[in-house]
């Protein structure tokens, strides 16, 4: 008779960890009935074992020795919810080398060292499960790794940070200033006291790197991701966007680059192997009719565009203890099933290692080749303050023209106190041309201030 | 060296089958790189092997002998795209008994004999993959079976039939009559010449049965599903719904029944094991702010409500050759990976059978216990034509009151030619009370016609 218990070592027991302990308690019986795997949390590593915790955390499981949990004979699967790069990286590498599958919600670690972890997992023939690292409760990583593994993904475009989405919704719906909306989000507990990771796009960039790696089968790190936050946006920007039929959202975009230049084949793949992709995080104008425009508050939504599948969208809660723990539990069950599969296979004969689940999916991922941001082609929104005098528009328009940026529409607000506010929407243009235009405008005497530049999501391709 | 080829026998080669052959040709190399499984279609069973087909179908693979394909030594996985109950059922049972995983898009078969197929798969330790049977290209079945296997699903509510959604959108947006919208859908190829399977809700009911079985871990057949189509709806109904802030959609709803009656425990589970659930397909009024209200044309979208995950939505194309083939290919890769896992495990030693992938997920599913439709509690829309004379409303209202149905709002249209059109929206009421009200109203002298009754999606719980 094969033992059906799968023993879990938990690293970290904050909001998500505590919710996971509760959830395993509630669902273990149902999971055992459905999958044959009997989950049992046997050890929990925390920084301070003496700290007072809720009644649902069994005190006798707590320890300060994380490495001991990873190495323990009564731990079959390691769940890492401690966050940060070190010591999480070493602990997970140790677990994988010991042949133990790992479940992690650590986006920072995965965006920095995902390739290393996946390679170690491949060598050991076990899995790194990571559903909770992107888009919280939403099943997105597994569909990308399993359901869509035969699909040629063309583009992923998503709202993956709830804090910035909440702030942008308040600015859009209620005309709030950025700072006020952020202060409110902080008061409500949606934003950290130090909001930089969210509002400057670092959190979204880490998630974009993970999604790009999964979608395009290559190694992408957070450093590869072009990143702009939402701090420069003013109510006037979201207001004009709305009047033009757009909602402003902080988007993570991962897409295959259009063939551009001799070094690439017609399939968007660099001739030496890795696909050429664009990975970026920035505020973007999303047409109001697009499903992403309707995503409210702290929700996340991710649009996936496949060559055969067409457009898919995954929507749900992107954060929170219980929703995130729900995603961790799904991963944990998958890891437990593969533990049992290996246990069955090697029962009594010590046969060859069994690759079950998703192990081996990422063998030998090439490094991604990142298209320079200057080659991006899309539409652009731009606003500038100019001195109100005859001939201004002509000199401004000349700068656009010099850099091959064609103006689709212009609106003038004011003049007030001698200053006119000009809002431009361009036709599809190249990023480097637009950047040169901004530079050129800033040198014109009549231009008093160059305000926000916002890209239009999906250029002119969107509905 | 273990052979990495996984040989595929295809049963049926219509629109989806032909698209699958093309897609495997396009993606086999990429799939092999990512998963180590080299897909190869070795045999294709069709009714008429002599029929002219596109150049992408290799003629030498075609045969009229489906059973021969299932039994062939050079077939490791069987993909069934022929549809219908027989002979598909026997062929798939044969494949499973021979230890071959199967992939099927056959909702009719799964809704009638899903339990039998899953039990056979469990005995053989292989998988029945069925992503394409529900909601076309959208990854939904795998997330339910894997990602959410540890989640307590409370409710699934979805638009799973594109034809009826197209017709309802045309009625809502353009005021078209049902018959005209249907004729247009037929002319465009969205609806069959015989549209009964779609417009009477049979197609959606089969999908509801499959989803309910997966979500609640029990056996549900299409016959268990309460079913109403869209044929009785008139433009006036969708028009009034919109004015009250709702879109009319044909919804498939699967939910845990609230404890009601002595035979159930507080967890909504019948005391003898199977959960008590409600599974139904009918037109429903969805609040315009709800994401499902915005689903246009032939798209599908499925809302999943989990106890820990919160609300999730999956959205995409519900039909079409290439989108559906994309879902089949995802399943095929999963089946191929488990074939390889077993091949690795038994290499040279003929060890114990390996359960990889989703095999064994459905061991011993209990029969679902279906809550009688009369016990449903929600809000109701009702319209009736009455003779325009004093005292009519009093006698109509008395019938509602007799059956404990409380009226939330009433609007009168007309009178015109002596006939007034009354539109009622009730507070949350019991279905049997509403049915008795309709029966009672139809016996009143002053009531000339009882029109459509439409339930409000999610009662009063929705946003």
- Asked if B139 lies within 8 A of A148 by C-beta distance, the reply is yes
Query: Which residues of A fall within a CB distance of 8 Å from B19?
Result: 308
Low-confidence ranges of chain A (pLDDT < 50): 260-266, 268, 270-271, 348-354, 359-360, 460-463
Q: According to the CATH classification, is domain B143-313 in 3.30.1330.60? A: no
Whether A375-455 and A5-137+321-345 are alike in CATH topology: the answer is: no
* Preferred mutation among B148, B158, B308 to probe A, highest tally of A CBs within 10 A: B308
Helix or strand or coil: residue B288?
A: coil
User: Which helix (H) or strand (E) segment is B304 a member of?
Assistant: strand B299-306
- The radius of gyration of chain B's CA atoms, rounded to the nearest angstrom, is 25
- Asked if residues A249 and A292 have their Cβ atoms less than 8 Å apart, the reply is yes
Contact B96, B102 (CB under 8 A): yes
A 115-144 → B contacts, CB under 8 A: 131, 137-139, 142-143
CATH class, range B375-456: alpha beta
- The pair of three-digit structure tokens given for residue A317, joined into one six-digit string: 């809660």
Which residue of chain B has the CA closest to A301?
A: B313
In degrees, rounded to 5, the angle at the alpha carbon of residue A402 between the alpha carbons of residues A399 and A405 is: 85
- How much is the pLDDT for A361? 52
Of A146, A311, A315, the CB nearest to B330: A146
CB-based contact, A333 to chain B, within 8 Å: yes
Mutation target among B147, B265, B302, B312 for the A interface, most CBs of A within 10 A: B147
Of A152, A217, A309, the CB nearest to B323: A309
Chain A residues in contact with B317 by the CB 8 A cut-off are: 309-311
The Cα angle at residue B164 between residues B159 and B170, in degrees rounded to 5 = 110
Cα(B154)–Cα(B310) distance, rounded to whole angstroms? 10
Name chain B contacts of A317, Cβ cutoff 8 Å: 309-311
Superfamily for B5-137+321-345?
NAD(P)-binding Rossmann-like Domain (3.40.50.720)
CA–CA min distance A455, chain B (Å): 25
CB proximity A317 to B under 8 Å: yes
Q: Is A147's CB within 8 Å of B320's CB?
A: no
Q: What pLDDT is attached to residue A18?
A: 96
Q: Looking at CA atoms only, how far is residue B311 from chain A in angstroms?
A: 6
CA distance B202 to B207: 9
DSSP, collapsed to helix, strand or coil, labels residue B246 as strand
Which residue in A has a C-alpha nearest to residue B141's C-alpha? A147
Q: Given the DSSP bridges, would you call strands A276-287 and B102-104 parallel, antiparallel or unpaired?
A: unpaired
Which residues 416-445 of B have a C-beta within 8 angstroms of A? none
Give first-to-last CA distance, chain B, whole Å.
Answer: 58
Which residue bears the tokens 């320079």? A372
% of chain A with per-residue pLDDT over 70: 91
Q: What span, in angstroms and rounded, lies between the C-alpha atoms of B247 and B241?
A: 6
Which among A31, A150, A345 has the least Cβ separation from residue B149?
A: A31
Contact B233, B171 (CB under 8 A): yes
Quick one: three-class SS letters along chain A?
CCCCEEEEEEECCCHHHHHHHHHHHHHHHHHHHHHCCEEEEEEEECCCCCCCCCCCCCHHHEECCHHHHHHCCCCCEEEECCCCCCCHHHHHHHHHHCCCCEEECCHHHHHHHHHHHHHHHHHHCCCEECHHHCCCCCCCHHHHHHHCCCCCEEEEEEECCHHHHHHHHHHHHHCCCHHHHHHHHHHCCCCCCCCHHHHCCHHHHHHHHHHHHHHHCCECCHHHCEECCCCCCCHHHHHHHHHCCEEEEEEEEEEECCCCCCCECCCCEECCCCEEEEEEEEEEEEECCCHHHHCCCCEEEEEEEECCCEEEEEEEECCCHHHHHHHHHHHHHHHHHHHHHHHHHCCCCCCCCCCCCCCCCCCCCCECEECCHHHCEECEEEEEEEECCCCHHHHHHHHHHHCCCCEEEEEEEEEECCEEEEEEEECCEEHHHHHHHHHHHHCCCCEEEEEEEEEECCCCCCC
Is residue A197 less than 8 Å (CB to CB) from chain B? no
Kindly give the pairing relationship between strand B246-256 and strand B153-159. antiparallel
How high is the pLDDT of residue B262? Answer: 36
State how far residue B69 is from chain A, nearest Cα, in angstroms.
24
Put residue A320 in one of left, alpha, beta given phi > 0 → left and psi -120 to 50 → alpha.
left
Secondary structure letter of residue B294 according to DSSP:
G
d(CA B13, CA B325): 11
Instruction: Identify the pLDDT of residue A189.
Output: 82
Alpha carbon of B163: minimum distance to chain A alpha carbons (Å): 18
For residues A93-126, one letter each, b for 16 or more C-beta atoms within 10 angstroms of the residue's C-beta and e for the rest, the string is bbbbeeebbbbbbbbbbbbbbbbebbbbbbebbb
Give the minimum alpha-carbon distance from B389 to chain A in angstroms, rounded to a whole number: 46
* Torsion sign, CA atoms A268, A272, A275, A278: negative
Query: Phi first, then psi: what are they for A117, rounded to 5°?
Result: -65, -45
What is residue A261's predicted lDDT score, i.e. its pLDDT?
41
Which residue is catalytic, options B100, B107, B207, B249?
A: B207
What topology is assigned to A375-455 in CATH? Alpha-Beta Plaits (3.30.70)
Predicted ipTM of the assembly: 0.90
Chain A residue nearest residue B137, CA to CA: A309
Closest CA to B319 of B341, B334, B287, B297: B297
Considering only the beta carbons, identify the residue of B146, B326, B352 that sits closest to A151.
Answer: B326
Chain B hits for A148, Cβ within 8 Å: 139, 326, 330
- The per-residue pLDDT string of chain B (463 residues; one tens digit each, 9 = 90 and over) reads 678 999 999 999 999 999 999 999 999 999 998 888 999 999 999 999 999 898 889 999 999 999 999 999 999 999 999 999 999 999 999 999 999 999 999 999 999 999 999 999 999 999 999 999 999 999 999 999 999 999 999 999 999 999 999 999 999 999 999 999 999 999 988 787 889 999 999 999 999 999 999 999 899 999 999 999 999 998 989 998 998 899 999 999 999 986 544 344 445 454 456 789 999 999 999 998 888 998 988 899 999 999 999 999 999 999 899 999 999 999 999 999 999 988 877 664 444 444 555 545 555 678 889 999 999 999 999 999 999 988 899 999 999 999 999 999 998 887 888 899 999 999 999 999 999 999 999 999 999 999 999 999 865 443 3
* Cis? peptide before A415, omega within 30° of 0: yes
Q: Are B5 and B40 in contact (CB under 8 A)?
A: yes
Q: From A39, which residue of chain B is nearest by alpha-carbon distance?
A: B150
| Rounded CA Rg of chain A | 25
Between positions 198 and 217 of B, the ones with CB within 8 A of A are 217
Which residues lie closer than 8 Å to A313 by C-beta, 6 or more apart?
A291, A292, A301, A302, A303, A304, B313, B314, B315, B316
The pTM of the full predicted model, rounded to 2 decimals, is: 0.92
From CA A429, how far away is CA A432, in angstroms rounded? 9
Contacts of A398 (CB under 8 A, 6+ apart): none
- Put simply, whether B33 touches A (Cβ < 8 Å) is yes
Q: Does A6 touch chain B (CB under 8 A)?
A: no
Is B150 close to A313, i.e. CB distance below 8 A?
no
Task: Identify the CA nearest to A425 among candidates A240, A247, A258.
Answer: A240
Q: Which residue among B26, B310, B356 places its CB closest to the CB of A356? A: B356
**B341 touches A: beta carbon within 8 Å:** yes
Q: Do A312 and B312 touch (CB under 8 A)?
A: no
How many angstroms separate the Cα of A38 from the Cα of each of A3, A445, B199?
A: 9, 73, 44
Check residue A228 and give its pLDDT: 96
Residues of B in contact with A142 (CB under 8 A): 142-143, 146-147
Of residues A131, A309, A310, nearest to B147 (C-beta) = A131
Question: Within an 8 Å CB–CB cutoff, is residue A23 touching chain B?
Answer: yes
d(CA B452, CA B463): 24
Q: How far apart are CA A14 and CA A324, in angstroms?
A: 12
User: What phi-psi label fits residue A316: left (phi over 0), alpha (psi between -120 and 50 degrees) or beta?
Assistant: left
Question: Which residue in chain A has the smallest CA separation from B27?
Answer: A150
pLDDT given for residue B275 in this prediction:
84
| Domain residue ranges in chain B | 5-137+321-345, 143-313, 375-456
pLDDT tens digits along A238-279: 998 998 899 999 999 999 986 544 344 445 454 456 789 999
Q: B294: which chain A residues are within 8 Å (Cβ-Cβ)?
A: 291, 294
State how far the Cα of A390 lies from the Cα of A274, in Å rounded to an integer.
53
Active site residue B207: yes
The CA-based diameter of chain A, rounded to the nearest angstrom, is 90
* Cα B121 to chain centroid, rounded: 22
Query: Which residue among A26, A310, A332 places its CB closest to the CB of B317?
Result: A310
Query: What is the 8-class DSSP label of residue B372?
Result: P
Q: Using the beta-carbon criterion (under 8 Å), do A31 and B327 form an inter-chain contact?
A: no
Catalytic residues of A: 207
Q: Which residues touch B8 (CB under 8 Å, ≥6 apart)? A: B24, B39, B40, B41, B42, B75, B76, B77, B78, B79, B332, B336
Tokens of B65: 């002998």
CATH number of A143-316: 3.30.360.10
Minimal-distance CA residue of chain A relative to B149: A330
In chain A, the residue whose alpha carbon lies closest to the alpha carbon of B217 is: A34
> How many angstroms separate the CA of residue B318 from the nearest CA in chain A?
10
* Rounded distance between C-alpha atoms, residue B111 and residue A116, angstroms: 44
Nearest to A333 among B26, B150, B333 (CB): B150
In this structure, how many other beta carbons lie within 10 angstroms of the beta carbon of residue A459?
A: 15
Distance CA B127, CA B141 (A): 13
Q: Is B50 on the interface with A (CB under 8 A)?
A: no
CA-based nearest residue in chain B for residue A311:
B316
Contact flag B354-A354 (C-beta cutoff 8 Å): yes
């Amino acid at each position: 008779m094969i033992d059906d218990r799968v023993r879990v070592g938990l690293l970290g027991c904050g909001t998500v960890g505590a919710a996971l302990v509760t959830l395993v308690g509630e669902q273990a019986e149902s999971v055992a009935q459905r999958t044959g795997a009997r989950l049992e949390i046997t050890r929990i590593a925390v920084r301070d074992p003496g700290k007072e915790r809720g009644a649902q955390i069994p005190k006798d499981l707590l320890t300060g020795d994380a490495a001991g949990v990873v190495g323990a004979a009564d731990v079959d699967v390691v769940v890492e919810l401690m966050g940060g790069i070190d010591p999480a990286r070493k602990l997970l590498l140790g677990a994988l080398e010991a042949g133990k599958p790992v479940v992690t919600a650590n986006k920072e670690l995965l965006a920095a060292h995902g390739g290393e972890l996946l390679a170690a997992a491949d060598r050991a023939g076990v899995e790194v499960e990571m559903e909770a690292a992107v888009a919280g409760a939403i099943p997105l990583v597994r569909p990308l790794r399993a359901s869509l593994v035969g699909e040629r993904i063309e583009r992923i475009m998503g709202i993956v940070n709830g804090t910035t989405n909440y702030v942008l919704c308040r600015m859009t719906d209620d005309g709030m200033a950025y700072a006020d909306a952020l202060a409110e989000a902080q008061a409500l507990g949606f934003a950290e006291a130090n909001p930089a990771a969210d509002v400057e796009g670092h959190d979204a960039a880490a998630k974009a790197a993970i999604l790009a790696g999964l979608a395009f089968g290559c190694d992408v790190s957070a450093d590869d991701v072009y990143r702009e936050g939402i701090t420069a946006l003013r109510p006037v920007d979201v207001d004009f966007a709305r009047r033009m039929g757009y909602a402003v959202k902080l988007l993570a975009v991962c897409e295959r680059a259009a063939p551009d230049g001799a070094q690439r084949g017609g399939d968007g793949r660099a001739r030496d192997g890795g696909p050429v992709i664009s990975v970026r995080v920035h505020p973007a104008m999303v047409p109001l009719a697009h499903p992403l425009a309707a995503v409210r508050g702290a929700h996340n939504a991710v649009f996936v565009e496949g060559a055969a599948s067409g457009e898919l969208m995954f929507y749900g809660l992107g954060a929170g203890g219980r929703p995130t723990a729900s995603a961790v539990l799904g991963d944990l069950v998958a890891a437990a099933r593969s533990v049992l599969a290996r246990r069955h296979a090697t029962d009594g004969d010590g046969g060859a290692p069994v690759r079950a689940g998703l192990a081996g999916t990422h063998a030998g991922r090439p490094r991604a080749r990142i298209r320079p941001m200057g080659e991006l082609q899309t539409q652009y929104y731009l606003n500038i303050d100019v001195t109100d005098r005859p001939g201004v528009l002509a000199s401004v328009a000349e700068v656009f023209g010099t850099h091959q940026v064609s103006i689709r529409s212009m609106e003038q607000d004011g003049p007030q106190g001698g200053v006119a506010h000009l809002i431009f929407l361009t036709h599809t243009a190249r990023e480097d041309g637009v950047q040169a235009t901004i530079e050129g405008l800033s040198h014109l005497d009549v231009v008093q201030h160059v305000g926000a530049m916002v890209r239009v999501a999906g250029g002119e391709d969107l509905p």
